[in-house]
Amino acid sequence: MFTAVATLQLVEAHKLALDDPIGKHLPGYPNKQVAAKVTVRHLLTHTGGTGDIFGPEFDQHRLQLREHRDYLKLYGRRGFTQEPGSRFEYSNYGFVLLGALIEGVTGGSYDDYVRDHVFRPAGMRSTGSLPEAVDVPDRAVGYMRPSPGGAWEPNTDTLPWRGTGAGGGYSTVGDLLRFAQALTSGRLLSKATLADATRPHQQQYGYGFDVQGQGRLGSYGHGGGAPGMNGELRVFPQLGYVVVSLSNLDPPAASELVEFFTLRMPDQ
């Protein structure tokens, strides 16, 4: 969601356009067909056919993948997994590409941009993507259970070097609440852009936001998870609820709590 908001801020500032091909802002992108046909809109809606980042290649190069450009160097020669725009296919690599686009357009780092234009305006003081090698006070350790009934183990050896435009950072429940409040108040995006971003464009997905329910029970937000970590944020604009859950355990530990509450919350 942070990457989507940052991208849409640049669209509002006329530094990006939703239908710009990625090659316009990443002129050296290795695969010329992908550069010419995949657009910003495709990436935001997970319809670009750009594939994932996880698998044997990621495992092999995990600690060498330190910047967005490292991911582009490793995965940038790949072709499409589907014709761009044809259907929804969740793509973490697509959001790495958005991170790289933000850097290309602004001339700075993705982390600096989201810090200055998303986190600080929202009052988020405990959110970031510093590398695992940097000591972050109170940063949680994730615990995973590799086999059913087995012992819990730290997820240290599964972690990326640092977070990217596709996720992997850290936050708190309080900061995610502040993010939701800043969004709904118009401090991060215009209300018209937010409304467009949080309506379904492909299946139940907007521009970087998962959209659920209808009427008063309509909501938007996102969930995420990996070994030893799980989080979920849901915003119910008509009811005025923001539901946030974070866990340092395997999915669906946090998501189940959100589901439990939302099925029982007052609808008046």
- Residue 149: predicted pLDDT: 85
Residue 79's Cβ-side half-sphere holds a number of Cα atoms within 13 Å equal to 3
The CATH number of 2-122, from 3.40.1080.10, 3.40.710.10, 3.40.50.12160, 3.20.20.70, is: 3.40.710.10
- Residue 148: predicted pLDDT: 84
- 143 close to 156: Cβ distance less than 8 angstroms: no
pLDDT tens profile 35-53: 999 999 999 999 999 999 9
Domain boundaries, the chain: 2-122, 173-262
Which stretches of the chain drop beneath a pLDDT of 50? none
Dihedral of CA 43/47/51/53: which sign?
positive
- CA gap 94, 216 in Å, rounded: 32
Closest C-alpha among 99, 89, 80, 3 to residue 46? 89
Report pTM: 0.96
pLDDT tens profile 63-89: 999 999 999 999 999 999 999 999 999
- Residue 268: predicted pLDDT: 67
Which residues are 256's β-sheet partners? none
Structure token digits, residue 200: 């379904």
Structure token digits, residue 40: 């910003």
Alpha helices in 107-225 (DSSP H): 110-114, 120-122, 173-185, 191-197
First to last CA, the chain: 28
